[in-house]
Amino acid sequence: MKNELIKGWKAAVPVALGYLPIGLAFGILAAQQGMTAADVFFMSLLVYAGSAQFIAAAMIASGAAAAAIIFTTFLVNLRHLLMSASLAPFLKHLSTPVLSLISLGITDETYAAGYPEASAGKVSARFYLGLNSLSQASWIASTVIGCLLGGGISSPEKWGLDFALPAMFIGLLFMQMKSRKDIIVALAGGSLSLAFTFLLKDNFNIIAATVAAAFVGVCLDDEA
């Protein structure tokens, strides 16, 4: 059982390292938007969603209503429903309380790091404990440190910090593309998301494109 925990920690190392620059960037931007280190700590602990935190911090700074912030971050994070649905068939052997704890730690990155292990067989709760705990600890630490440093950095956009999150997603995408089917699905998702931008608002283009690209992937599997 101890080996499973260590395996989870090992799987979390790339995620934790990737979170460092993203977390620092968020912390710096959050500090310049008026958030304190305590604000950033509790947001990273309780919300724990990179893109949603970037959006929420900007909306808080602009004086947006609480309902608007909650609804927007909910829409941005709807993709986690799809991730959870794809993991569900491999985690049926785990109890409901354990599944609840695992679900709290699902992010784009931990999903990508944990899916190969889950789909290969009966993944243990200890594996996800190691994966999620180290990943979130890295995120919390980097965001708080970034906030503490944020006051001394002017115009973070000049350093490309505002592009840190998209850069990480691009890196994760290229790491996952190992076959012709992966490339087709990725291109379909990106192209459809851009196309749906003109038809849908409030980030629904991302959700619609994700579902459509997943359908493309299923069709390609059937052809194979």
List pLDDT tens digits, range 105-137.
Answer: 999 889 989 998 898 887 899 999 999 999 999
- pLDDT value at residue 139: 96
- pLDDT value at residue 132: 94
- pLDDT value at residue 159: 65
Q: Which amino acid is at 51?
A: S
Among left, alpha and beta (phi > 0; psi -120 to 50; other), residue 163 is alpha
Query: What pTM value is reported for the model?
Result: 0.72
What is the torsional sign of CA 160, 104, 91, 9?
Answer: positive
- pLDDT value at residue 44: 94
- pLDDT value at residue 8: 92
Tokens (6 digits) for 135: 């990943």
- pLDDT value at residue 19: 92
Instruction: Enumerate residue ranges in the chain where pLDDT < 70.
Output: 1-2, 151-169, 172, 175-176, 202-203, 222-224
